[in-house]
Amino acid sequence: GLVGDQVDKIGGLLERTLGARWLGSGDCPLQLGTACSGTDAPSLAMTLVQEQLKLRGKEGLLKYDHMFSCENDPFKQAYLARNFDSILYPDITKMSVEEPVDAFGAIKEIPTFNLFVAGTSCKNFSAMRSKKRLMIEDKGCSGETFLAA
């Protein structure tokens, strides 16, 4: 399939870099945190790559831990809660407070991470918006989220 073909293309590169104790190797796993997570495509992609490496006899070459997700849409939160064991935060703009709260109301310290992926919305400052277009600095929902990331 598509992921397997890509793993075949870059397999040698992965072996050389990850086998040499780089970030993502067994000695230094990637610790993933995502914001505006949606379906958490970065975590799903890493899982697919791990599966393809295993099929090719290279199990354990890529190590990662999914540390947390952050998503404010209740439907997407439900998906994330059902499909991932990581901490789920409800609002990126409130993650920097002294005692961040997870999506279930429990105080949860932000875990250590070394890879952060955020896919913020750009609705407020998109060139496609014909009326009341905002700049990032004007904040609005999109700008506030972008600046928090």
Positions marked active-site = 122
| Residue where the block lists tokens 């600095």 | 137
Q: Are strands 30-35 and 115-118 parallel, antiparallel or unpaired?
A: parallel
Q: What's the rounded Cα separation, in Å, for the pair 109 and 100? A: 6
Cβ neighbours of 97 (radius 10 Å): 10
Opening angle at CA 67, ends 61 and 70, nearest 5 = 130
**φ and ψ at residue 115, rounded to 5 degrees:** -140, 120
- Nearest residue to 104 via CA among 85, 83, 81, 84: 81
Q: What's the rounded Cα separation, in Å, for the pair 27 and 111? A: 18
